[in-house]
Structure 1
Amino acid sequence: HRLRVEHDRARLYVELSGEDGKGPWTVLAVDRATRVHAVAQAETKIEATRAAAAALDLLSSA
């Protein structure tokens, strides 16, 4: 597995690769202010990150 943590001013992204360092990727997106979080999984890191961010957007707007 590979684990990466990325961030911007609003969110943290914890990105975990598959067993061989490739896909599928699992991403945990966390809103820094509220700690609301969402998890997504996809074959590529960018797809999983985008999906987790979109899910977090939905939760934040509810």
Structure 2
Amino acid sequence: MAIGNYAVIQTGTTEVVNTIVADSTFKLTGYDLVLYTNDIPASIGMTYDKSTKTFSTPTTTATS
């Protein structure tokens, strides 16, 4: 059991909806918990790319 920082992502999506500090055995029904570090930080609203195991800020387009 190790305590770490986790990005909370609803199962089947890629958007980070929350970040928590939890031990490695913690489970949250309907959500995936992805460990992150200061080297690969995460914050609410970011997108997680499972293939590269990285987080990024989603790009938005302006509407007029």
TM-score by length of 1: 0.28
Structure with more of its chain in strand, by fraction: 2
Higher relative contact order (CA 8 A, sep 6+): 2
Structure with more of its chain in helix, by fraction: 1
- CA radius of gyration, larger in: 2
TM-score by length of 2: 0.28
